[in-house]
Chain A
Amino acid sequence: MLETSADGPFVTGKVRLVHAVGMHARPAVKLTKLAKRFQAQISVRASEAADWINAKSVAKVMALRAPRDSIIEIKAHGDDAEAAVAALIDLVATDFPDAGS
């Protein structure tokens, strides 16, 4: 979905975290690795927390402490923002598969 804000246009998306143990080390590493492949600035937050954090920081993503079934929101702006949000949603929705990462 395309929205606009003071920072300019950004793309947002939501996905439910289905991973059995929540956002722990292995999923956090996969998520940040994938985020770093994009130029866009990408932020995530869990369960409508006040703060958005950098999706490219493993320390911050781990600090979300997002449990299973929490809703992960993703927003991005930059040239490949749309592709970035789609890729990250797919990663979380497919439960962080091993192949291709």
Chain B
Amino acid sequence: MRADVAGLSFRGRTASIGFARGPFVRISASQNSVRVAGEPEDEVLALREAIESASEQIAELAAAAGGEAAQILEFQVALLEDEDFIDPIFATIGEGAAADKAWASALDEQIADYNAASDEYLQARSADLADLRDRVLRILRGGEKHAPKIAGGAVVCAEDLPPSRFLEIDWSPGGGLALLRGSPTSHVAMLARARGIPMVVQLGALPDAATALLDGESATLELDPGAEQITLFERRREAHRKSRASARAILRRPAATWRGERIRLLINIQRVEDLDHADAQYADGIGLMRTEFLLSAPGGMPDEETQYRAYDEVLRWADKKPVTIRTFDAGGDKPVAGFTPEGEANPFLGLRGLRLCLARPDLFKVQLRALARAAVRGNLKVMFPMVTVPAELEAARALFAEAVADLQAQGIATMLPELGIMVEVPAAAMAIGDFKASFFSIGSNDLAQYVLACDRSNGALGTLMDPLHPAVLELIVRTAEHGRRSGAPVSLCGDMASEPRCVPQLLYCGLRELSVNAPSLAQIKQTIDRLSRGGSGG
């Protein structure tokens, strides 16, 4: 092989963004060394001691790490203290099995069980069990008290990495994680994001190498890179650092303005946990809380109490800031078993959004009751998706008023929140003046799809599916103008708002309120700041 040959490049999935350049260090989860087994009583004693030192090690790690990491490790400690789990292992050792083999096979059985679960959460727990298995095996086999130290700043490569191994590595000089398998939803991915350690998962098979470049933004790993690759990598890293730093500095400023007018920047959330994003606190409120996640939880349709808790949690987080919750928007590309109709020839033009909720008032009432109760807890607004004609808004309002009256008759504190509609059906945008809504929110994804007659999930239509098409913009202008005349606030919560290239157009269309994904908040605020200072935008 020639020395100037460019290194190999591999692509995976991003679990945590950031850049790392350093030695490529492979660690294997389990050692192959084999113990020589002693008499059954020695083996029992060996495992008992190994379990004890493993417990101590994990407790130490948990104490040092604190917070979320400590909770993750608590499960491992509980398992080591579980007699129902441990005693059968000692029983097989009593019958002549070697300590390490008996331990490993019991844990392997559990791991296989978790891996077979249909629930992604349970599957992810199998990594915790593998972690525990390997820790006890290391102690039994090597007698080593701690895992070998890994040089700081390295790009660490493993099949998968359990949380406790992650915590044992000193990440203070930087470094990154490249996993052959792994998942962006694993515990270790959460820890990596919290620490700002770049992490790429599902890289597949990798050869050995001396050095590596890990780019968590483009999800690439380059092994034994050439000089040119290193230069390009450093350029990307620098660009990322600069834009991040200046965007974050802008984020902390009180408000975005453009031509002297305040631009409100809110965030969209899919579920309550999205509020954990570090930038969420800088938003002017929540412009769109989707509620479909409640429908996909195991156990079927969520009851009033479950829904109320979710809404209340978000309102408490937001304090006095406004929170706009959208009622169930199922159907179309979001089917929900037992709720959405089956066999529709064209679900995007079928019974979806508010249409479906009005067809199922029994289920819809439960959501409206939960929202009516939540309304007294904060600055709540409720909006209905997929509204075509004013009669639908009025029907929903009547159901809502009924729910409020029922609850009040029972002496439960409730109120009717401000009600608004999503503007996503072209007919609604054209006849916007007919709706007696307190506010409007433009759902630009569906609006563009219906105006352009392009299925947004059909990749073959890529170039036709342009949200900046003049016909789409005209409907946005129309809605914004109506808002200005009538005094009803108008925002836009589609993907366009999170795209810097679309932001100037949206401002020129007359919008002064955008709702974006939390990770885009800094960039969009920066884009507006550049525009207001006469730049050409993002």
Q: Which residues of A contact B (CB under 8 A)?
A: 18, 20-22, 24-26, 28-29, 32-33, 54, 56-60, 62-63, 65, 67-70, 95
Would you call B78 and A54 a contact (CB within 8 A)?
Answer: no
User: Complex Cα distance A57/B82, Å?
Assistant: 5
Would you call A18 and B85 a contact (CB within 8 A)?
Answer: no
Can you list 10 contacts pairing A with B, beta carbon distance less than 8 Å?
A: A21-B121, A25-B125, A25-B128, A26-B74, A28-B75, A59-B82, A63-B113, A65-B117, A67-B297, A67-B298
Give the 9 A-B residue pairs with the shortest CB-CB distance, closest first.
Answer: A57-B84, A67-B298, A69-B299, A59-B85, A58-B78, A25-B75, A68-B299, A29-B78, A67-B299
Q: Which residues of B contact A (CB under 8 A)?
A: 71-72, 74-75, 78-79, 81-85, 110, 113, 117, 119, 121-122, 125, 128, 297-300, 303, 305-306, 309-310
User: Complex Cα distance A21/B83, Å?
Assistant: 26
- Chain A residues with CB under 8 A of B78: 28-29, 32-33, 58
Would you call B83 and A57 a contact (CB within 8 A)?
Answer: yes
Q: How far is the CB of A16 from chain B (nearest CB, A)?
A: 9
Q: How far is the CB of B526 from chain A (nearest CB, A)?
A: 35
Would you call A58 and B303 a contact (CB within 8 A)?
Answer: no
- Chain A residues with CB under 8 A of B122: 24, 65
Q: How far is the CB of B108 from chain A (nearest CB, A)?
A: 14
Partner of B82, one of A20, A32, A65, A67: A32
Would you call B84 and A60 a contact (CB within 8 A)?
Answer: yes
User: Complex Cα distance A65/B116, Å?
Assistant: 12
Would you call A59 and B110 a contact (CB within 8 A)?
Answer: yes
- Chain A residues with CB under 8 A of B310: 20
Would you call B299 and A65 a contact (CB within 8 A)?
Answer: no
Would you call B75 and A58 a contact (CB within 8 A)?
Answer: yes
- Chain A residues with CB under 8 A of B121: 21, 24
Closest chain A residue to B310, Cβ basis: A20
- Chain B residues with CB under 8 A of A20: 297, 306, 310
Q: How far is the CB of B239 from chain A (nearest CB, A)?
A: 39
Would you call A59 and B84 a contact (CB within 8 A)?
Answer: yes
Q: How far is the CB of B68 from chain A (nearest CB, A)?
A: 10
Q: How far is the CB of B70 from chain A (nearest CB, A)?
A: 11
Would you call B75 and A29 a contact (CB within 8 A)?
Answer: yes
Closest chain A residue to B303, Cβ basis: A69
User: Complex Cα distance A65/B298, Å?
Assistant: 11
User: Complex Cα distance A33/B310, Å?
Assistant: 27
User: Complex Cα distance A21/B121, Å?
Assistant: 8
Other 15 A-B pairs with CB < 8 A, given A24-B121, A29-B74, A67-B297: A18-B309, A22-B298, A26-B74, A26-B75, A29-B78, A56-B83, A56-B84, A58-B75, A58-B78, A58-B79, A58-B81, A60-B82, A60-B84, A68-B299, A95-B309
- Chain A residues with CB under 8 A of B298: 22, 67-68
User: Complex Cα distance A68/B294, Å?
Assistant: 11
Partner of A69, one of B82, B113, B300: B300
Q: How far is the CB of A82 from chain B (nearest CB, A)?
A: 24
- Chain A residues with CB under 8 A of B299: 22, 67-70
User: Complex Cα distance A57/B78, Å?
Assistant: 8
- Chain A residues with CB under 8 A of B110: 59
User: Complex Cα distance A54/B85, Å?
Assistant: 11
With A59-B79, A59-B82 as known contacts, state yes or no: A68 contacts B306, CB within 8 Å. Answer: yes
User: Complex Cα distance A59/B71, Å?
Assistant: 16
Closest chain B residue to A70, Cβ basis: B299
Q: How far is the CB of B292 from chain A (nearest CB, A)?
A: 14
User: Complex Cα distance A61/B128, Å?
Assistant: 16
Would you call A26 and B71 a contact (CB within 8 A)?
Answer: yes
Closest chain B residue to A24, Cβ basis: B121
Closest chain B residue to A20, Cβ basis: B297
- Chain B residues with CB under 8 A of A25: 72, 75, 125, 128
User: Complex Cα distance A1/B530, Å?
Assistant: 69
User: Complex Cα distance A29/B119, Å?
Assistant: 19
With A24-B122, A26-B71 as known contacts, state yes or no: A68 contacts B297, CB within 8 Å. Answer: yes
- Chain A residues with CB under 8 A of B309: 18, 95
Q: How far is the CB of A25 from chain B (nearest CB, A)?
A: 4
